[in-house]
Amino acid sequence: MKRIALFLLTNIAVVAVLGITASLLGVNRFLTSNGLNLGALLGFAFIMGFGGAIISLLMSKPMAKMSMGVRIINQPSNADEAWIVQTVHNFALKAGIGMPEVGIYEGEPNAFATGAFKNSALVAVSTGLLQGMTREEVEAVIGHEVAHVANGDMVTMTLIQGVMNTFVVFLSRLIGYAVDSFLRKGDDRESSGPGIGYYVSTIVLDILLGFVAAIIVAWFSRQREFRADAGAADMMGSSLPMQHALARLGGMHPGEMPKNMAAMGIAGGIGKLFSTHPPIEERIAALQSRGK
């Protein structure tokens, strides 16, 4: 319940901030007595589309810590924690990025990386992952997450999500206005605003286009997973540890990730079109094709 409440409150706050921003800039008044102001609509769509994605990115680290219960390892308390911190440090040096924060959280086998900037990211692993894998396999998983950071995947996915959001907001309202105009054609009654056709069409199109956008974003996410797997293999000098980690993970019950963290986790979702991760078999096959 705490995670759900936090998620809802955060989204309400984000929507409120974006709404106030759009109002202050005047771009929320794209429906005028003379018709649709395309420039204002584009500005409104841009703010709502990119604003939400960027705010989510900037909040990703603190949100991950709170929602997942991540305990940051500031001072290792045992040999395992010291090894995890040292492993992240070694990979960060190889990848040429700043040392990420390192954390552990209770849960089923999984790991994730998040953060708005390459040099101030967070890499966290679950207790289930540490208990269910060999050190070499955990090392490969950590390499995968550091590769996500080094590849700038968090920013890349944010930009892609922002573009998709902008198109959804813009097209749904543009088409909704056209539908409403068509339905009201020949109606001589004066009206101070759009009719019911606009509102119904916009809501339906927001949902339908949102699904299309989610499919496109998920496709890009799957490509980044292949790249992160390859990055881990390059940093380790062999793809075998990553292959073994994926094979072992395939026999585990992967931990569920929060929606805003799913794209950077080691485990995938359900449904191929909407899955942020490729099937494990495809990932292993891609690593095997590297020939080492």
The catalytic site residues sit at 145
Contacts of 45 (CB under 8 A, 6+ apart): 166, 167, 169, 170, 173
Return d(Cα 57, Cα 152) in angstroms, integer: 12
For 290, which DSSP code?
T
Coil, strand or helix: which one is 35? Answer: strand
Return d(Cα 122, Cα 67) in angstroms, integer: 14
Return d(Cα 57, Cα 63) in angstroms, integer: 10
Q: In the chain, how many H helices and how many E strands?
A: 10, 6
Coil, strand or helix: which one is 251? Answer: coil
